[in-house]
Amino acid sequence: MPPPEKVIGVVGKTNVGKSTLFSALTLARVKIANHPFTTIEPNVGVGYVRIKCAHVELGLPSCNPRSGACIRGERFVPVKIMDVAGLIPGASQGRGLGNKFMDDLRQADVLIHVVDASGSTDPEGKPAKPGSFDPVEEARLIQAEIDEWFWGVVKRLWETKIQRGLLNVTDQVDYLARNLSGLSVRKQHVVEALRATGLEGKNLKNWTLDDVRSFSLAVRRLSKPIIIAANKVDIPEARDNVKRLKEFFGENIVVPVSSLAELLLRRLAEEGVLSYLPGDPRFEILDERKLTPQYKRALELVEENVLKVYGSTGVQTLVNKAVLEVLRLIPVYPVEDANKFSDHHGNVLPDVYLVPKGTTARELAYMIHTELGEGFLYAINARTKERVGEDYVLEFGDVIKVVSAKARK
């Protein structure tokens, strides 16, 4: 089976720019408007992690991606993105649209929490003058809502399902992982949450509701880690707030972002007006004639207030951070021909798999095809042409051919 598809969920207060970010990531046309609760049904689409394509280092003229794209030596590897309805404080108690829509995010592996860093929306998402509201407070309150939502789901599961089966539980970790799998909770998350809460030695039958709650909060942090998109940094009032968000949540967790700037750049690039790749620190105008004075002015602002100050729109950074740093996935390229770096049709580097750090050659073989895994003999590191065994731990950017006793059907 190919590596399990990872899902990035976009969450946050209502009217902070979640759908704008989603649209900038996927180029999907979705409803965007400056009032609360524009999005009701979730939007699902494909965004991309950006990495240097191996074909460049290998000295090959080009490659043939089966999905995603390779542009100017930059490889764009697909990941699933989900944009859902917004929250307001008290959502877990049913305020606003309540928590109903958060349930769409059960399958998310990592959350991008969009915060209005310009402080130009009130706690209910109504537009206000920039600088009127505190984004640190907004982020704190919304994260508390996310914790409450998760706890609500775990508590319900506990009361309706987990508690009932406790009598016959032999393997506690496995039992919890199985029962929480609908929330995308994996065994490793359970192990780490038990350790973090000191509950690993305590029999499940003796857990109090407080134990369940602290376990639930720990599992939320591990199974749905959050990074913050400090959005609307094109508005100058956001600058100080970005600093404060970083102080409060950590330098590594907060990414300054202008979703609006990214959306503008990507749409104009799509129309051939400018040359710009997501994540680039600059753009180049290709066709002045197609540029209206309004767009021209908007691009000047993007240049002055976003690119010069922050180095990029931050949107690509978010996806790369979520996938490569938070989920700790690495890209590897399975090939069938280690000399041509291709599949058997001659397609060069057709696939990129995003696999967990620590994945072995044999595990990769199973991801390509069950039979390749079962009949695994050895693998070839196509960069060095060295043979490696089943326990070889894959490295970032490895190009791997698996040699198996069983043919791939």
Ligand X SMILES: Nc1nc2c(ncn2[C@@H]2O[C@H](COP(=O)(O)OP(=O)(O)OP(=O)(O)O)[C@@H](O)[C@H]2O)c(=O)[nH]1
How far is Cα 11 from Cα 309, in angstroms, rounded to an integer? Answer: 26
Say how far apart CA 315 and CA 262 lie, in whole Å.
7
Q: In whole angstroms, what is the distance from residue 232 CA to residue 36 CA?
A: 16
Which residues make beta-bridge pairs with 152?
none
| Residues between 244 and 303 that touch ligand X (CB under 6 A) | 258-260
- Least separation, in Å, of the C-beta of 338 and ligand X? 45
Residues 6+ positions from 293 with CB-CB distance below 8 Å: none
Is residue 204 near ligand X by the rule CB under 6 A?
Answer: no
Cα(218)–Cα(225) distance, integer angstroms: 10
Please report whether residue 259 would count as binding Mg ion according to CB under 5 A: no
Check binding of 317 to Mg ion (CB under 5 A).
no
- Under a CB-based contact definition with an 8 Å cutoff, are residues 361 and 338 in contact? no
Contacted by 360, from ligand X, Mg ion, none: CB < 5 to 8 Å by type? none
- Tokens 């930059």 belong to 74
By residue count, the chain amounts to 409
Contact flags string 13-42 toward Mg ion, x per CB under 5 A: -----xx------------------xx---
33's contact among ligand X, Mg ion, none, with CB below 5 to 8 A by partner kind, is ligand X
Task: Let me know if 225 is exposed, middle or buried by CB neighbors in 10 A (0-12, 13-18, 19+).
Answer: middle
| 3-state class (DSSP) for residue 272 | coil
In one letter, which amino acid is 280?
A: D
Q: H-type helices in 322-360, by residue range? A: none
Shortest CB 104 distance to ligand X, Å: 13
Which of residues 3 and 127 has its CB atom nearest to ligand X in the complex? 127
- Which of 7, 11, 18, 89 is the binder for ligand X (CB under 6 A)? 18
Q: Is 105 in the site for ligand X (CB under 6 A)?
A: no
List 86, 119, 135, 278, residue binding ligand X (CB under 6 A): 86
The first and second tokens of residue 385, run together, are: 């042409």
- Locate 54 and state its tokens: 């191996």
In the numeric block, the tokens 């390229």 are attached to 333
26, 231, 312, 342: residue in contact with ligand X (rule CB under 6 A): 231
Q: How far is the CB of 402 from ligand X (least distance, A)?
A: 43
Which has the closest alpha carbon to 310: 227, 249, 229, 225? 229
* Contact pick of 106, 113, 220, 232 for ligand X (by CB under 6 A): 232
401 makes contact, choosing from Mg ion, ligand X, none, with CB < 5 to 8 Å by partner type, with: none
When binding is defined by CB under 6 A, the residue of 8, 9, 19, 310 that contacts ligand X is 19
Rule CB under 6 A: choose which of 37, 175, 248, 378 binds ligand X: 37
Binding site for ligand X (CB under 6 A): 14-20, 32-34, 36-39, 86, 231-232, 234-235, 258-260
Name the residues that contact Mg ion, by CB under 5 A: 18-19, 38-39
